[in-house]
């Protein structure tokens, strides 16, 4: 059956057509839609399976992995930095293995489109000694879920599927199974303490040897089933290109563009590689070029003098793949001598950058505005965390961002290192659950003095508005959790009256001055993209600026920074009517000369075509 | 057939919607396609560029000097992406009359759809479909017909299809006039 699918939809179909019936994980771009799509299909077809978010990637991994230990077919989904969080579990699981199938789906982000790092999860698989499959297209992604599930079950090892952003968010007509005959498994845990309880040393060293045997057997499997058929199609000659994942598509198109014939071999499973059999093939070629992203995973396994790639500087070493890099590599190794087919001629004048910004009407903007007004920048440090609110970096309201939950632990550290400053940390609700609680316990335990502001909009806004724990189950209460940790906790209910937030934080400053440990503030907010609640919060009070009253003082465009605000040709601020959503927040307080007034001519605008 | 399209705009303008529509057009005609879209920052006012390659391609990304068509939903985003167009390509751009068309090494069709929206001639959320209408009516090598696009709009969401089709027809009528 042919369907136009995005890679993440294709993976969801692959999961269902592999009879995987337990899925858990944590959202993160570019992986987020996978679990959501599984859930959608579950409801559409009324399937009996579990697909729910864990509070973080380690939790998600472990929930799904236990399913595989009990003999079911399971999958965990996350992005590459999420794997860092789950890596503790992965390293042990790689020794212990599983009975059913355990497919670990990790989406990579070469080119840093929405991530702090560009790490290569294939290298992580190699580090953990587990097999990894690397799809090149949505079609591959669908097919490879099935291969991964079968390998995992046959070899009793966690098996990784590593799509990159250009697979997850690529769109293609995908051929999937005609029918869905979903057969959920039944788990039955079989007690085997020596295997499932990872204590040192006797049991572990045996498992360590078994793991090495497994990898050797997988190399054989890889050669016989996946690689040899590819080499059998090869002709030999001047150039052999070795690829995996998206590198394959880029390489084939480049060769076509520049009109060169060469053999291209795509490794479906780039680790573990049967290095000897592969090197044996090199004698049929003058040169070997490895095209892969983002790190030299294949190259390091099969390196010989003939091999060119990232390690000898032939290929680019950072950022996303482009055909021009392959063309230039072919020039460097003397295979291509023609013209540059991909000349970059940008528009002659510089074009203003468009930094992502908090949405018009987003409550975070007001809270950051109030924080920086009350806790002056010169006298404060603002650690923050991962989520939409990180975009307040444009407002100058964030000093540090490291990884999930680090705002809290870094606030502890700053309070020790630079005790004369106010330390005001911000974190979102989902991030608080993910990684913010243990460092809060630590801060209370050791009496670190700072203020932690939990921006609770009750949605995982950045990754597509997944529902966080407290929204699904009201019993979970961030205030009670923070109180249970032993912190002093205060609540602030957001309204579009900025003065209200300013007054609240002024009071909090007094509390801070008297405190001898961490203070937690829970701000009850909403997200303007959250269709279920937004109508209750946006009063449709649109703004305009009276030009005569605007003194071009920059206050609104540098400190408040709602996207519709910009200078016009006359040097006055103007509100872009297409961007203003009518939250009314800027109408008071923001402009020192009261140039902002309500634009009563505006009707209601609803956004449909998104 | 081989045809490469870049769609450039900023968050909230609906570039991704256009990719979905073009993918549906391709699916309906059994033309292979491979597209890609930027997520993550796309709702938050940041630059969003999407690609779709129609025909037998193996990677979804478009390199500089390769695209047949660039749809610019906004002037600056169009200029930021002109490098992807080949000299024989086409740019359809939503921009005021001072758009530097003569500096661009490609065929340029420029309309001020923002102005039309301000005058309430079309709903602002229909800007993307309006620009697609401009392409359908003006761009000679564009591989899909008006009827193909309408069918895709219906397939995507029958509820809002009529509204979108109206905008499409308006664009075609405006540009033919
Ligand atoms: S998506 Fe929601 S939380 Fe994120 S910036 Fe926009 S309004 Fe704020
Ligand atoms: S009313 Fe003001 S703060 Fe609200 S969206 Fe419009 S410009 Fe931004």
pLDDT in tens, chain B (177 residues): 899 999 999 887 889 999 999 999 999 999 999 999 875 555 677 888 899 999 999 999 999 999 999 999 999 999 999 999 999 999 999 999 999 999 999 999 999 999 999 888 998 889 999 999 999 999 999 999 999 999 999 999 999 999 999 999 999 999 986
pLDDT of res. B39: 58
Distance CA A246, CA A296 (A): 14
Report whether B23 contacts B87 (CB < 8 A): no
User: Confidence band (pLDDT; 50, 70, 90) for A606?
Assistant: very low
Closest approach of chain B CAs to the CA of A254, in angstroms? 10
The verdict on whether omega for the bond into residue A201 sits within 30 degrees of 0, i.e. cis, is: yes
Residue labelled with tokens 């109408």: A587
Q: What mean pLDDT do residues A403-416 have? A: 97
Cα dist from A161 to A25, A104, A124, A171, A225, whole Å = 14, 6, 12, 18, 17
Is residue A532 predicted with pLDDT exceeding 60? yes
Q: What mean pLDDT do residues A217-241 have? A: 98
Contacts of A347 in chain B (CB under 8 A): 79-80, 82-83, 103-104
- Burial of residue A405 (number of CB atoms within 10 Å: 0-12, 13-18, 19+): buried
Ligand 1: centre distance to CA A438 (Å): 26
Residues in A 287-346 with any Cβ partner in B closer than 8 A:
320-324, 341-346
User: Which ligand gives the minimal distance to the CA of A577?
Assistant: 2
Residue B25 CB contacts under 8 Å (≥ 6 apart), including other chains: B144, B148, B149, B151, B152
What is the chain B residue with the closest CA to A114? B40
Name which residue leads in pLDDT, A252 or B125.
A252
Is residue A609 predicted with pLDDT exceeding 60? no
User: Which ligand gives the minimal distance to the CA of A578?
Assistant: 2
Average pLDDT over chain A, rounded to an integer: 95
User: Cβ–Cβ of A347/B103 closer than 8 Å?
Assistant: yes
Ligand 1: centre distance to CA A593 (Å): 28
Ligand 2: centre distance to CA A465 (Å): 22
What is the chain A residue with the closest CA to B153? A609
Residue A77 CB contacts under 8 Å (≥ 6 apart), including other chains: A23, A24, A25, A31, A34, A35, A60, A105, A106, A107
User: Confidence band (pLDDT; 50, 70, 90) for A603?
Assistant: low
Is residue A41 predicted with pLDDT exceeding 80? yes
pLDDT of res. A354: 82
Q: What mean pLDDT do residues A161-181 have? A: 96
Percent residues over pLDDT 70 in chain A: 99
Q: Tell me the per-residue pLDDT of A358-398, one tens digit each, with 9 for 90 and over.
A: 999 999 999 999 999 999 999 999 999 999 999 999 999 99
Contacts of A394 in chain B (CB under 8 A): none
Distance CA A116, CA A119 (A): 9
Question: Strand A383-384 vs strand A400-401: parallel, antiparallel, or unpaired?
Answer: parallel
pLDDT of res. B42: 55
**DSSP codes joined into one string, A395-434:** GT---EE-STTHHHHHHHHHHHHSTTSEEEEEEEHHHIII
Question: Strand A596-598 vs strand A543-545: parallel, antiparallel, or unpaired?
Answer: antiparallel
Closest approach of chain A CAs to the CA of B83, in angstroms? 5
pLDDT of res. A607: 45
Q: What mean pLDDT do residues A347-365 have? A: 90
- Burial of residue A190 (number of CB atoms within 10 Å: 0-12, 13-18, 19+): exposed
Q: Tell me the per-residue pLDDT of B6-21, one tens digit each, with 9 for 90 and over.
A: 999 988 788 999 999 9
pLDDT of res. A605: 46
Ligand 2: centre distance to CA A539 (Å): 11
pLDDT of res. B124: 84
Residue A540: name the closest of A580, A500, A597 by CA.
Answer: A580
Residue labelled with tokens 């009707």: A603
User: Confidence band (pLDDT; 50, 70, 90) for A601?
Assistant: confident
pLDDT of res. A570: 93
Half-sphere exposure of A363 (CA within 13 A, CB side): 26
Instruction: Output Rg (C-alpha) for chain A, integer angstroms.
Output: 27
Q: Tell me the per-residue pLDDT of A457-471, one tens digit each, with 9 for 90 and over.
A: 999 999 989 999 999
Residues in A 359-418 with any Cβ partner in B closer than 8 A:
359, 388, 391
Distance CA A442, CA A184 (A): 42
User: Cβ–Cβ of B40/A563 closer than 8 Å?
Assistant: no
What is the chain B residue with the closest CA to A4? B27
Q: What is the DSSP letter of A467?
A: P
Residue A5 pairs in a beta bridge with A172
Residue A383: φ, ψ to 5°: -75, 140
Contacts of A357 in chain B (CB under 8 A): 44-46
């Amino acid at each position: 059956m042919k369907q136009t699918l995005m890679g993440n939809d294709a993976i969801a179909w692959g999961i269902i057509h592999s009879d995987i019936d337990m899925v858990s994980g944590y959202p993160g771009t570019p992986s987020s839609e996978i679990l959501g799509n599984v859930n959608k299909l579950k409801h559409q077809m009324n399937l009996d399976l579990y697909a729910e978010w864990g509070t973080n990637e380690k939790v998600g991994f472990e929930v799904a992995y236990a399913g595989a230990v009990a003999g079911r077919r399971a999958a965990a989904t996350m992005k590459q930095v999420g794997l860092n969080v789950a890596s503790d579990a992965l390293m042990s699981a790689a020794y212990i293995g599983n009975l059913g199938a355990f497919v670990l789906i990790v989406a990579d982000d070469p080119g840093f489109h929405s991530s702090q790092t560009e790490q290569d999860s294939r290298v992580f698989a190699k580090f953990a000694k587990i097999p990894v499959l690397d799809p090149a297209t949505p079609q591959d992604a669908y097919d490879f879920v099935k291969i991964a599930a079968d390998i995992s079950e046959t070899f009793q090892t966690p098996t990784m599927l590593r799509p990159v952003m250009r697979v997850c968010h690529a769109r293609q007509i995908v051929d999937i199974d005609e029918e869905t005959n979903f057969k959920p498994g039944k788990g039955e845990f079989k007690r085997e303490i020596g295997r499932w309880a990872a204590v040192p040393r006797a049991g572990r060293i045996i498992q360590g040897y078994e793991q090495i045997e497994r990898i050797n057997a997988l190399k054989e499997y890889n050669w016989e089933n996946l690689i040899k058929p590819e080499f059998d199609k090869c002709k030999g000659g001047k150039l052999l290109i070795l690829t995996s994942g998206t590198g394959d598509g880029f390489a084939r198109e480049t060769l076509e563009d520049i009109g060169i014939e060469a053999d291209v071999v795509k490794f479906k499973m780039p680790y573990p590689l049967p290095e000897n059999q592969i090197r044996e093939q090199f004698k049929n070629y003058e040169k070997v070029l490895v095209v892969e992203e983002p790190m030299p995973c294949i190259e390091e396994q099969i390196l010989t003098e003939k091999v060119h790639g990232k390690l000898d500087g032939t290929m680019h070493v950072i950022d996303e793949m482009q055909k021009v890099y392959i063309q230039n590599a072919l020039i460097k190794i003397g295979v291509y001598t023609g013209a540059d087919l991909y000349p970059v001629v940008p528009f002659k004048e510089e074009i203003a950058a468009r930094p992502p910004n908090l949405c018009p009407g987003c409550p975070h903007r007001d809270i950051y505005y109030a924080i920086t007004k009350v806790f002056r920048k010169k006298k404060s440090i603002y650690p923050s965390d991962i989520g939409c609110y990180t975009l307040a970096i444009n407002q100058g309201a964030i000093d540090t961002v490291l990884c999930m939950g680090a705002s809290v632990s870094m606030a502890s550290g700053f309070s020790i290192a630079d005790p004369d400053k106010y330390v005001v940390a911000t974190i979102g609700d989902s991030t608080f659950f993910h990684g913010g609680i243990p460092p809060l316990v630590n801060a209370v335990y050791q009496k670190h003095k700072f203020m932690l502001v939990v921006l609770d909009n009750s949605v995982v806004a950045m990754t597509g508005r997944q529902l966080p724990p407290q929204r699904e189950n009201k019993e979970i209460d961030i205030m009670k959790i923070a109180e249970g940790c032993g912190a002093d906790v205060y609540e602030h209910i957001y309204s579009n009256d900025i003065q209200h937030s300013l007054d609240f934080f002024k009071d909090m400053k007094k509390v801070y001055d008297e405190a001898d440990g961490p203070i937690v503030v829970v701000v009850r907010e909403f997200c303007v993209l959250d269709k279920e609640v937004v109508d209750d919060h946006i009063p449709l009070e649109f703004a305009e600026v009276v030009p005569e009253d605007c003194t071009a003082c920059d206050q609104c465009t540098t400190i408040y920074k709602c996207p519709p605000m910009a200078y016009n040709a006359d040097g006055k601020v103007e509100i872009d009517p297409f961007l203003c959503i009518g939250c009314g927040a800027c109408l008071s307080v923001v402009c020192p000369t009261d140039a902002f007034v309500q634009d009563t001519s505006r009707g209601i605008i609803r956004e449909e075509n998104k | 057939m081989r045809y490469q399209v870049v769609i450039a705009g900023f968050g909230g303008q609906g570039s991704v919607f256009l990719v979905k529509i073009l993918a549906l057009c391709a699916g309906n005609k059994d033309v292979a396609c491979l597209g890609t879209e930027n997520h993550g920052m796309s709702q938050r006012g940041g630059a969003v560029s999407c690609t779709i390659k129609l025909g037998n391609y193996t990677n979804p990304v478009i390199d500089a000097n390769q695209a047949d068509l660039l749809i610019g939903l906004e002037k600056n985003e169009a200029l930021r992406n002109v490098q992807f167009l080949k000299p024989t390509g086409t740019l359809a751009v939503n921009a005021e009359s001072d758009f530097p068309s003569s500096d661009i090494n490609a065929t340029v069709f420029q309309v001020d759809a923002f102005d039309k929206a301000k005058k309430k001639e079309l709903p602002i959320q229909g800007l993307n479909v309006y620009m697609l209408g401009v392409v359908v009516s003006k761009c000679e090598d564009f591989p899909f017909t008006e009827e193909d696009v309408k069918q895709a709009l219906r397939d995507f969401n029958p509820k809002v299809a009529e509204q979108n089709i109206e905008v499409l027809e308006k664009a075609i009528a405006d540009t033919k006039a």
